[in-house]
Amino acid sequence: MKFLDRAKVYVRAGDGGNGCLSFRREKYIEYGGPDGGDGGRGGDVWVEAVDGLNTLIDYRYRQHFKAPRGGHGMGKNRTGAGGRPVVLKVPVGTQVFEEDEETPIADLTEVGQRVLLARGGNGGFGNTRFKSSTNRAPRRANPGEAGEERWIWLRLKLIADAGLVGLPNAGKSTFLSHVSAARPKIADYPFTTLNPVLGVVRRGTASFVLADIPGLIEGAHEGAGLGDRFLGHVERCAVLLHLVDATGEDPVAAYRTVRAELAGYGRGLEEKAEIVALNKTDALAPDDLDGIAARFAAETGVEPLRLSGVSGAGVDTAIAMVADAVNARREAEKAGTDTSGEGDDADETAEGWTP
């Protein structure tokens, strides 16, 4: 299934049914009077978060959703039927915005959450509503009101507890495949990951969801490479695991490039808890690795972990640190003092790995 995390959709609620202009006419009843019923209410348009979806691909080929109008009123004081509602089913983690893509309407973070997008029009009054002591035979009925309509943007942000960031070919996919049952594409060239990938990491009896997003390059926040559009999928994370290729030409420059892109993207990502690790250490001699780590710590002020997604060296330590950060955020959420970001725990999407 193709991954789609943004979609523009037009929704229109149903119009209300027209009121009826009718009079009771029966044999032996000389003054039957008005008996026109009211029109039915138009159908509403809702958006609902459901389980089992992880993409907005359903809205790639259908962008218009219209609810049916209410039934017209009829004689004998019969009210028209209400229009059936239309429900847009979206994955958990979907945000709804106005057409300007800036004004939020809803953030659906739990299964079963639903929000009214467009309200159906009220049905018109039949002429029975207008009878009075001075107007015994009203010849007036109202038309139904028009339903609401609007363009909206759906934007999916995957629910993950921790995120993997780094330059292309930093070994993020290899690391994810080692610690979870996820099987992202792995190759010896950049940008093998074109869409975000989720994996469930198990540590003892606990587990958390780890997200791998496509690599960032310099200028990503200005649209270079795949841009920074996928960074939204780690906005809800409690911690970022920043992998730096220890075999690269300049690990310090690589680290600073990604940090600059996080700051350029904004929305609090540069302030999130971060664990930095030098990856691919199995390809370096111990002495060379010591020199690279010492230089990295001296120039960045960050003491990096050392790990290898291929051999598994140092992976347990990194996973333990990530799990501790995730558990701390969960405890803060339970206590109602969460300050690290938005979002709830995600459902498990794959069989995990136990160290």
Phi-psi region of 191 (alpha: psi -120 to 50; beta: other; left: phi over 0): left
The pLDDT score that the predictor gives to residue 221 is 52
Indicate if the pLDDT at residue 120 is higher than 90: yes
Does the annotation list 214 as a binding residue?
yes
Q: In this structure, are residues 198 and 211 in contact, taking their beta carbons and an 8 Å threshold?
A: yes
Does the annotation list 22 as a binding residue?
no
The pLDDT score that the predictor gives to residue 352 is 38
Does the annotation list 89 as a binding residue?
no
pLDDT in tens, 329-346: 888 888 875 444 444 443
pLDDT in tens, 310-324: 888 888 888 889 888
Distance CA 3, CA 229 (A): 13
Indicate if the pLDDT at residue 10 is higher than 50: yes
Does the annotation list 282 as a binding residue?
yes
Please state the rounded mean pLDDT for residues 105-126.
94
The pLDDT score that the predictor gives to residue 341 is 47
Does the annotation list 157 as a binding residue?
no
Indicate if the pLDDT at residue 52 is higher than 70: yes
pLDDT in tens, 175-194: 888 888 767 666 555 566 66
Residues whose CB is less than 8 angstroms from the CB of residue 275 and which lie 6 or more positions away in sequence, other chains included: 239, 240, 241, 242, 305, 318, 321, 322, 325
Q: In this structure, are residues 111 and 92 in contact, taking their beta carbons and an 8 Å threshold?
A: yes
Does the annotation list 279 as a binding residue?
yes
Mean pLDDT (the chain) is: 84
Does the annotation list 226 as a binding residue?
no
The pLDDT score that the predictor gives to residue 157 is 85
Least confident of 20-29, 171-180, 244-253: 171-180
Does the annotation list 3 as a binding residue?
no
Does the annotation list 191 as a binding residue?
yes
The pLDDT score that the predictor gives to residue 5 is 84
pLDDT in tens, 125-176: 999 999 998 999 999 999 999 999 999 999 988 878 888 888 888 888 888 8
Structure pTM?
0.74
The pLDDT score that the predictor gives to residue 185 is 62
Indicate if the pLDDT at residue 238 is higher than 90: no
Does the annotation list 337 as a binding residue?
no
Q: Which of 103-107, 185-189, 219-223, 328-332 has the highest average model confidence (pLDDT)?
A: 103-107
The pLDDT score that the predictor gives to residue 21 is 95
The CA-atom distances, in angstroms, between 346 and each of 77, 92, 114, 153, 244 are 51, 8, 18, 23, 27
Distance CA 275, CA 281 (A): 16
The pLDDT score that the predictor gives to residue 193 is 64
The pLDDT score that the predictor gives to residue 343 is 43
Indicate if the pLDDT at residue 301 is higher than 80: yes
Domains of the chain: 1-156 (2.70.210.12), 162-335 (3.40.50.300)
Does the annotation list 281 as a binding residue?
yes
Does the annotation list 4 as a binding residue?
no
Indicate if the pLDDT at residue 117 is higher than 60: yes
Indicate if the pLDDT at residue 93 is higher than 50: yes
Please state the rounded mean pLDDT for residues 194-207.
78
Does the annotation list 310 as a binding residue?
yes
- Residue whose entry in the numeric block shows the structure tokens 């999130």: 272
Does the annotation list 213 as a binding residue?
yes
Does the annotation list 195 as a binding residue?
yes
Distance CA 171, CA 176 (A): 9
Does the annotation list 166 as a binding residue?
yes
The pLDDT score that the predictor gives to residue 159 is 78
Distance CA 231, CA 221 (A): 10
Does the annotation list 36 as a binding residue?
no
Please state the rounded mean pLDDT for residues 83-101.
93
Indicate if the pLDDT at residue 307 is higher than 60: yes
Report the 3 state secondary structure along the chain. Answer: CCCCCEEEEEEECCCCCCCCCCECCECCECCCCECCCCCCCCCCEEEEEECCCCCCHHHCCCCEEECCCCCCCECCCECCCCCCCEEEEEECCEEEEECCCCCEEEEECCCCCEEEEECCCCCCCCHHHHCCCCCCCCCCCCCCCCCCEEEEEEEECCCCCEEEECCCCCCHHHHHHHHECCCCCCCCCCCCCCCCEEEEEEECCEEEEEEECCCCCCCHHHCCCCCCHHHHHHCCCCEEEEEEECCCCCHHHHHHHHHHHHHHHCCCHHHCEEEEEEECHHHCCHHHHHHHHHHHHHHHCCCCEECCCCCCCCHHHHHHHHHHHHHHHHHHHHHCCCCCCCCCCCCCCCCECCC
Does the annotation list 194 as a binding residue?
yes
Does the annotation list 173 as a binding residue?
yes
